[in-house]
Amino acid sequence: MKNFAMAALFLAFGTVAVLAADLPVKARPVVIDPGYNWSGFYVGVNGGYAWNNANDVVVSGTPVITVSQSGAVPFAVGGLRPEGYLVGGQVGWNYQFGAGLVGIEGDFDFADIKDSRNVDLPVLGPAARTSASEKIDFFGTVRGRLGGIVSQRLLLFATGGLAYANVKDSANINEFFNAPVIGRQFIANASDLRFGWTVGAGAEWAFASNWSVKGEYLYYDLGSPTITGSQTNPVDTEFATYSFSTRGNIVKAGLNYRFDGGGPIVARY
């Protein structure tokens, strides 16, 4: 009797197991990560450092100032090299096609990029001091981007387009007839919005669903403006012209949030 009961019990469990195997089972979601989708609009913040190429501010015009060593006019205020920090934000749009990418980005940064130089000139006659300074207090670009996706979440890109900045230039010649009495002066100042071009390259890494970090290098050229100062103290018809050259380099890091694209695709089976 006992053996019969055990056999019946095993038979019952076996029947239940067979029936359970035939029941439909709801599949769990399977996460598939096909790589990062870079397409879509994004916004972000950035910060960096800029330094202009060291350039001479060439002085010409009519002032009777002759450098005694060379006897040459014009002369120059050498080695003006504005540099400093910038911080701001950017907005852009990307379109990904396979492993390639095209896009456009605009950025705007508050800046403190500046330098000044004084040159004491040994001259035939009265002593003279020439000074020059330049400052950029904001800087922006509108650039195209062309890139390649070299791994699932790493983008390398080249970039180029329009650059603009508010640039303040000033220069002055002071002649000292009998120090500390100042003789003639030739003062010139300008503050204006200037346009030029920029090119560069960078890399961007998508570290989360809609977030990425980037680093980039830019070279910019805002032209070679000239400013002119008439003679003062006393007022006369003579003048001095100062030629600047506003070209430089920027390295920046940034953080972007992408509204579209990004995360993995979830499929159900």
pLDDT at residue number 260: 76
Q: Omega of the bond prior to 180 within 30 degrees of 0, cis?
A: yes
- In terms of DSSP bridges, do strands 154-178 and 265-267 run parallel, antiparallel, or are they unpaired? unpaired
Higher-pLDDT residue of 53 and 215 is 215
Would you state the structure tokens that stand for residue 4, as one six-digit string? 């019969």
Q: What is the dihedral of CA 187, 193, 196, 197, to 10 degrees?
A: 130
Residue 242 within any structural domain of the chain: yes
Tell whether the model's pLDDT for residue 269 goes beyond 70: no
Residue 249 within any structural domain of the chain: yes
Residues of the chain with pLDDT > 90, as a percent, come to: 47
Count of domains for the chain: 1
Tell whether the model's pLDDT for residue 214 goes beyond 90: yes
pLDDT at residue number 61: 74
The residue segments making up the domain with residue 95 are 35-267
Residue 7 within any structural domain of the chain: no
Which residues are registered as beta bridge partners of 205?
Answer: 154, 213
pLDDT at residue number 265: 38
Helix (H), strand (E), coil (C) string for the chain:
CHHHHHHHHHHHHHHHHHHHHCCCCCCCCEEECCCCECCEEEEEEEEEEEEECCEEEEEEECCCCCECCCCCCCEEEEEECCEEEEEEEEEEEEEEECCEEEEEEEEEEEEEEEEEEEEEECECCCEEEEEEEEEEEEEEEEEEEEEEEEECCEEEEEEEEEEEEEEEEEEEEEEEEECCEEEEEEEEEEEEEEEEEEEEEEEEEECCCCEEEEEEEEEEECCCCEEEEEEECCCCCCEEEEECCCEEEEEEEEEEEECCCECCEEECC
Q: What is the pTM of this model?
A: 0.77
Residue 103 within any structural domain of the chain: yes
- In terms of DSSP bridges, do strands 154-178 and 75-80 run parallel, antiparallel, or are they unpaired? unpaired
Q: Write down the residue that tokens 């800046």 correspond to.
A: 111
Residue 95 within any structural domain of the chain: yes
pLDDT one-digit tens code per residue, 194-206: 999 999 999 999 9
For the domain that residue 262 is a member of, what is the CATH number? 2.40.160.20
Rounded-to-integer distance, Cα 113 and Cα 135, Å: 6
pLDDT one-digit tens code per residue, 135-155: 999 999 999 999 999 888 999
Residue 11 within any structural domain of the chain: no
Rounded-to-integer distance, Cα 88 and Cα 61, Å: 40
Q: Write down the residue that tokens 């800029």 correspond to.
A: 50
Query: Which whole number is the average pLDDT over 218-226?
Result: 93
pLDDT one-digit tens code per residue, 24-68: 545 555 444 456 789 999 999 999 999 987 777 888 777 655 444
Residue 59 within any structural domain of the chain: yes
Residue 191 within any structural domain of the chain: yes
Which residues are registered as beta bridge partners of 249?
Answer: 51, 219
Higher-pLDDT residue of 181 and 265 is 181
Answer yes or no: are the C-beta atoms of 153 and 261 closer than 8 Å. no
User: What mean pLDDT is reported for the chain?
Assistant: 80
Q: Write down the residue that tokens 């791994």 correspond to.
A: 151
Higher-pLDDT residue of 130 and 48 is 48
